Amino acid sequence: MKKWRILLATCMLAFVAACGNEEQVEFSDSFEAATESAKGSTVNLYMWGGDEGINSYIDDYVAPRLEESYEVELNRVAMDTAEFIRQLSLDQKADREVGTIDVVWINGDNFRNAKEAKLLRDGLMERIPNAKLLNETAQQSDAGTPTDDLELAWGNVQFILHYDAAKVDDPPESFEELRRWTEDNPGRFTYPEVTDFTGNAFVRHLLYERYGDELDKNATIEESFWDDLKVWSPNLWKEGQTYPKTLEQLDQLYASGDVWMTMGFNERRAEAEVKEGIFPKETRALVLDHSIASTHFLAIPFNAPNPDGALVLIQELLSPEAQLVKQGPDYWGDGTSLDLTKLDERDQQAFEELGDGVTYPDPEQLLERSIPDYGPDVIDTVREEWPRVAK
């Protein structure tokens, strides 16, 4: 169980700390020097491991390329993000300057925690040549928290809904219509709890419908907003008595036909699920009034044992080739974090030629309706106040 693991980790760390401290390993002076010193080393990438497509992108595509171009071995470690952030925090408390994690995949709450506790190295922009190609808007903020050069954008996606066209004849086109649709089809729609990343984002879309970007200045949400949600809930799955705990559970309900819509960040995420026969064949994209854009990032912990290897890995992950394959339908379908106008013509064309999947939304419409995310204050307020809806 969790607390035992933490306890065990603490004991082990106390032991390690008692054995004497090593000095923090520094970056080499330039990227060229870093590639030299990283040769023959292993770099540990810690990331959430719940998606087969993502895992095989790293293991089958990135790892061999890294070995070939830089002679660096890639070791992917699957772990819940909150868990390795906690491990880093324990490392810090125990003054463990040489840890085990070189690169982390991170965003949202986890980044806020890591930033607040100073667990990440800064100055990544100047150390990694490909960082110049990044989309500046995406790079700027992480779910409303300024990135401050502590992490580099790895992928950029937008929030959309998916529905089963075999069951939904007349899909809603706005949040208001969605509400009316659930009145006609009670029990066929729900959203994850707001402790879930996606569930919280869904409620923020409803907030944006009412408040626009006003909430950024003043994160107070009126009673009536929550009352409306409460009034809506009897039309949802299980009459709103309970909500899926995670997006995975919502996807499962969608896959089994219990609900007819699902949602999530990444407009291309349903393609692989449909191909594998997990999602219904007739799954189609649904873009409502507006869609929050979300970026996820890569960062290097303060106690990375192989920081040069980490630089090399991030350089590789941000290369146009690796980003192209990541966005393609073969592995992941994750939107690129690069600014296409900064790429040379050949690369630009390759991205354009990636083509459309049947579950993709109209890219122009999606871009048009894209809105920036609210800051962490709104996310926290939603988390604190929403439970009254589920009571």
Partner 1 sequence: MLRSSVALTILVSLLPLAALVFLGVESIGTDWRVLLSDETWRDSLFTTFYVVSVSTVLSLILGTWFARTVVKKGWHLTSTILKIPMFVPHIAAAYLFWLLFSGSGGIGWIEANERNYATVILTYIWKETPFVFLMMLGTYEQLNRSYVETAKTLQLSPLDQFKHGELPFLIKPLLDSTWILVAFISFAYEVPALLGVTYPKLLGVLAYERLSTGLYLEATEPYAVALVWTCLVGIGVFTTYFFTASVRRRIERGVRR
Q: Which residue stretch of 6-14, 51-59, 134-142, 358-366 sits at the interface with partner 1 (rule: CB under 8 A)?
A: 6-14
Answer for which of 47, 94, 124, 253 binds partner 1 (CB under 8 A) is 253
Answer for which of 25, 98, 117, 255 binds partner 1 (CB under 8 A) is 117
Q: Is the Cβ of residue 56 or residue 246 nearer to partner 1 in the bound state? A: 246
- Number of chain residues interacting with partner 1 (CB under 8 A): 33
What's the closest the beta carbon of residue 54 comes to partner 1, in angstroms?
Answer: 20
**H-state helical runs in 246-306:** 247-255, 270-275
- Cα R_g (the chain), whole angstroms: 22
Helix, strand, coil % in the chain, rounded to nearest 5: 50, 15, 35
What's the closest the beta carbon of residue 170 comes to partner 1, in angstroms?
Answer: 24
Residues 6+ apart with CB under 8 A from 333: 53, 266, 268, 269, 271, 272, 327, 357
Q: How many CA atoms lie within 13 A of 244 on its CB side?
A: 27
Q: Reduce the DSSP state of residue 128 to 3 states and report it.
A: coil
Which residue matches tokens 């895992």? 55
Q: Which residue stretch of 107-115, 136-144, 207-215, 334-342 sits at the interface with partner 1 (rule: CB under 8 A)?
A: 107-115
In the stretch 200-239, what mask flags binding to partner 1 with x, by CB under 8 A? --------------------------------------x-
Answer for which of 1, 26, 29, 184 binds partner 1 (CB under 8 A) is 1
Question: Binding to partner 1 by residue 50, rule CB under 8 A?
Answer: no
Answer for which of 44, 48, 86, 266 binds partner 1 (CB under 8 A) is 86
Q: Is the Cβ of residue 131 or residue 390 nearer to partner 1 in the bound state? A: 390
**H-state helical runs in the chain:** 2-18, 31-38, 52-56, 63-70, 81-93, 108-116, 124-127, 136-140, 175-184, 197-211, 223-232, 247-255, 270-275, 307-317, 320-327, 345-352, 363-368, 376-385, 387-390
Answer for which of 191, 243, 331, 360 binds partner 1 (CB under 8 A) is 243
Q: Is the Cβ of residue 78 or residue 367 nearer to partner 1 in the bound state? A: 78
152 φ/ψ angles, rounded to the nearest 5 degrees: -120, 140
What's the closest the beta carbon of residue 48 comes to partner 1, in angstroms?
Answer: 12
Question: Binding to partner 1 by residue 85, rule CB under 8 A?
Answer: yes
Answer for which of 12, 33, 78, 82 binds partner 1 (CB under 8 A) is 82
CB atoms near residue 113 (< 10 Å)? 17
Question: Binding to partner 1 by residue 193, rule CB under 8 A?
Answer: yes
Answer for which of 242, 321, 349, 365 binds partner 1 (CB under 8 A) is 242
Query: DSSP character for 336?
Result: B
